[in-house]
Chain A
Amino acid sequence: MESAFLVSILEWAAQFQPFALIPPAIMYFLAALIVLWSSHRVGRVVMFAMPFLTVLQLVVMVAVQPNVTLALLDMSLVILRVDALSLLFALLFNIAALIGVIYAMHVRDRLQSVSAMCYVGSALGAVFAGDLFTLFIFWELLALSSVGFIWARRQPESMGAGMRYLLVQVVSGLLLLAGALYLYGQTGSLLFNHIGLDGPAGWLILIAFGIKCGFPLLHGWITEAYPAATEAGAVFMAAITTKVAVYALARGFQGEELLVYIGVTMTCFPIFYAVIENDLRRVLAYSMINQLGFMVCGIGVGTTLAVNGAVAHAFNDVIFKGLLFMSMGAVLMQTGRINGSELGGLYRTMPKTTVLCIVGAMSISAFPLLSGFISKAMIVTAVLEEHYEWVWLALLFASAGVFHHAGIKIPYFAFFAHDSGLRPSEPPTNVLIAMSIAAVLCIGIGIYPTLLYQMLPFDMEYTPYDATHVLAQLQLLWFSALAFVWLNLRGWYPPELPSVNLDVDWIYRKAVPRSTAALLPHVSKIGERSALYIGDGFHRIGVLLARGLVTMVGQSTSIRLMAIYLLTVLMLYLLLDALIVLLH
């Protein structure tokens, strides 16, 4: 009955074939143009309509399975490659876009609106890209369009944070391009399928994906950019950039064992930071790395169950992490504060936000009957099936830890804990609606998992709700909570303190700028000294150069430093490019 209904829908949809040939990215870019030039009211309608229009388009795509190829010079670029994996992510990004647009409905800021449309468009372009060059273009557009969310905050530190974010993302794109060209030199093909780690090309592309996915030591941008973005911007960014990277990893590096170990590191180290972090949106950023770790691990294991689990977890994560970012955004919106040390007791006047936040918190902690439970269990089961015993134990540790910092800490310190005396009202209705949609999805997927699981890329047999899994998970979570209660009652739980914690971003935000600032005057003095011996004319040039150097790098903020870093990478890339040309 149900399948006959589906078939008839698809037959009906097939007659709109030309509609499926327009890349959704182009549609979103057109929407961005309309939003840019029209009134706010028209812009809002267009933004709201876009996800629905695109989902209709996806239905037609399922019916006709289009493959759009474009010839550029002697390369053929696959603009639209439609399969189960790309369709699922496209659907996901449209759901995220709808939730994000509703959440931001009350915001009158053209910069954010245009950014949002371009950003979602770029994400759709990236997941439908069938070759690495097209992927590269949308990869960079993702970076360019999303930086608007950080700059739109319009705080003194936004400019710097945005610039650093942009530079990291652009570097990721350049590495991708370098890898793609290298691969093209080797194989003569740019098609984006399984890449693997057989040659330098694979490594370059893996690092490019790894930057966007927040691999350990490359994760600094996640914890810096998300807390720096606007309330709505963080919701969009949390949903998309890293998930595009997960998609790309699933496509290109499925079954690479290295990813299992990278993934498990990503699940474990951020939870320590999350426990002591004060900025609650940064806690969520750390928790995002932790969740990405589960996905990366699943992709690394590479079995049907594992990859399905990773993809399903990406889907669920967008919804529940979105819900958590939305609730913390609502707190920031209504109180102007986001540090745990300044919040507390908000449940009195924000009960709806509190309940919705708790739904998100329970989902991310993988409580039975909520969305995170099944996808996380799939990954953990697959890891154990492949006999990664230590990895399994580490994932259990991370599961307990995620409940501790995201499941309990976020709602507890924002809405309960000590009374901060703040009495903010509930956020605007549209914000509550957006959060409710996400909460309903969390519960809906949890109770009726088939909704999502029939769309997964591989066929599989998996029974999510058996007594063993449910009991084990409940025991694990309940006793994690017990630990929290016990530590709190003893007064041993680390209090929220106004502070920052050093992480990798310290290297380019503090260490290197400071040491160059300390070193360069001496270097330039040597320049000046030597200039003394080379006649008056040369001397002037020397001084000029030395001073220029001091001005440029000596007082370098991290932005300038990263600009120099970027230039170096660019030069490396050009060198590599020249090598490839020479070799062929």
Chain B
Amino acid sequence: MSGRVRLAIAHLGAALPLVAILALIATGVTTVLGPGASLFATTLFINIILVVSLQVFVGNSGIVSFGHGAFIATGAYVSGLLTLPVEVKAAALPRLPEFLAAIELPLLPATAISALVAGFVAFLVGVPTARLVGAAASIATFAFLVITNGVLVGAADLTRGTQTFYGLRPLASLDVVLVGAAAVVAAGLAFRRSSFGLRLQASAEDELAASASGIDVRQLRLIAWVLSAMISAVGGAFLAHMLTSFAPSTFYLTQTLALLTMLILGGQRSVTGAVAGTVVVTAVFEGLRRAENGIDLGPLHFSGMFGLQQLGLGAFLLIAIRLRREGLLGRRELTLNSLFRRRHQAERPSLDLSRDGNHVAGGVER
């Protein structure tokens, strides 16, 4: 076996513990909470896909992205257009181009195509903006989200504009989504540990030093951006086929903030952290929803009606941040290596940053 193949297997194998945990969660949830909970489990795994896709970009490049909702939407609308039954399309989208109106694909090919479209868009947008960092980059991603939202609303012939895009077949079964989540997690871990990922993380730590070492930072950022866009689209496609109806607002500010919350709470530096954060926030939100006995809408939905839910979630977040500043897991990953490695005792630092109030002056976000 060549070195490369062995390395690839090592990367994938390293993901085993996490994947195993995901499978456990899936079976555990459905057996303990009953079949009604399969909706919750499906939501959870879709969220995991979406948050890990964010992690691939944010966690490696250090740039907070508000723009991934655009790719999630791309995944949803493109795959939806491809899987929608022809009769529904004729009724809901009378002015579709001929080739789209006639086509009806199964979920997986549609998802794959939507991922390619998202990747292409990401590439187009990423090339001019790859040089931005920090707050400027984040603003650019936010602008991208707003622009995409506007396009979705405006291209009513394809998307039904602000009206609900409905009639999708409920193709996102728990099995499919679970496999998808496992694959995405493995991919995220592999990327993070690959030479691409490592070089990108180095550049996020110290851009000057990295580029002096010959690392082409822009190219790496672009790769991470495109890859994460494609994964987001996959998540978006699954989300669309679970919800079976949606609108541009589904993929706008509320969802963006929710996903960012899950990522940052868990610790954006690691895939394991992203997963952990997603699980915790989704579970807490679900728990609060049941406690409040509200209306069953399935996916995470910060709506004004769920007052107690949001309040509770916000309070929970503040407390969690207070207790664990770097996110739940910081930078640690759960991999085969980490399970068998011995822990060193870290000395307690004498520098008490919380009291000193030191902060990094300047505009960079890490």
> Is the pairing of A and B real?
no
Interface set of B (CB-CB < 8 Å, partner A): none
